[in-house]
């Protein structure tokens, strides 16, 4: 079973990964975006870590709700409301249980990625964060590491795609040949989950 501290460590590990990779995320957002994805997520997750240090929610659901709310209020770009919705919806699904099972988390993330798809209107293959989140969350039934690896593969698979949603879609065919920044950060989120679950962090 996973308690609030596990979820807090997941968010802190994600913040550390975003700190490490922020320049790269911004570089990926240069040719097909407006070069702010790294700084957007750095601002958002730094605020998430600060909020969790201040508030210390007692439940897994409480941690994810606070993280999601914080991302929505601090990130101006498209990714803020999308990641905020992912975490808030998952947090809502987990309710006020003090501990949740891996299967509870899998189901909550499955519902949450559906909420991201309805909010953003993107489909698989549109070259968005969904192209990493969907295969990643589908592999959660196998293991957290399998989910992280599938999300990494999903992010790489966005390179030959043409973007049909978000800023990158304005470029039409010129969006082809670049890795999507949001898919890349989604792989970081699931990588951090695997590190925390495996006890690496």
Q: Which positions lie near ligand ADP, rule CB under 6 A? A: 29, 33-34, 36-37, 40, 77-79, 82, 120-122, 128-130, 165-167, 180-183
Closest approach, Cβ 22 to ligand ADP, in A, equals 11
82 binds, among ligand ADP, Mg ion, none (CB under 5 to 8 A by kind): ligand ADP
Query: Between 2 and 127, whose beta carbon lies closer to ligand ADP?
Result: 127
Q: Which residue is nearest to ligand ADP (CB)?
A: 182
Closest approach, Cβ 51 to ligand ADP, in A, equals 19
Residues 17, 28, 32, 36: which binds Mg ion (CB under 5 A)? 36
Cα–Cα distance between 155 and 179 in angstroms, integer? 7
- Residues with Cβ within 8 Å of 35's Cβ and at least 6 positions away in sequence, in order, are 26, 27, 29
Contact set for Mg ion, span 75-94 (CB under 5 A): 77
CA 150 to chain centre: 14
120 binds, among Mg ion, ligand ADP, none (CB under 5 to 8 A by kind): ligand ADP
29 binds Mg ion (CB under 5 A): yes
């Amino acid at each position: 079973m996973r308690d609030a501290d596990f979820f807090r460590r997941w968010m802190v590990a994600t913040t550390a990964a975003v700190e490490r990779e922020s320049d790269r995320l911004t570089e990926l957002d240069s040719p097909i975006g407006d070069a702010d994805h790294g700084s957007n997520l750095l601002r958002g997750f730094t605020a998430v870590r600060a909020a969790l240090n201040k508030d210390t929610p007692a439940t897994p659901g409480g941690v994810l709700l606070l993280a999601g709310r914080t991302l929505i209020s601090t990130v101006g770009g498209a990714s803020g409301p999308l990641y905020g919705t992912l975490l808030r919806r998952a947090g809502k699904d987990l309710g006020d249980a003090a501990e949740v099972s891996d299967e509870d988390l899998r189901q909550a993330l499955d519902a949450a990625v559906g909420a991201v798809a309805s909010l953003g209107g993107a489909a698989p293959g549109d070259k968005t964060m969904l192209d990493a989140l969907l295969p990643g969350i589908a592999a959660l039934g196998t293991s957290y590491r399998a989910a992280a690896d599938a999300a990494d593969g999903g992010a790489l698979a966005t390179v030959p795609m043409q973007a049909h949603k978000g800023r990158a879609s304005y470029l039409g065919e010129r969006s082809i040949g670049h890795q999507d920044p949001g898919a890349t950060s989604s792989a970081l989120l699931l990588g951090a989950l695997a590190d925390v679950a495996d006890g690496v962090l």
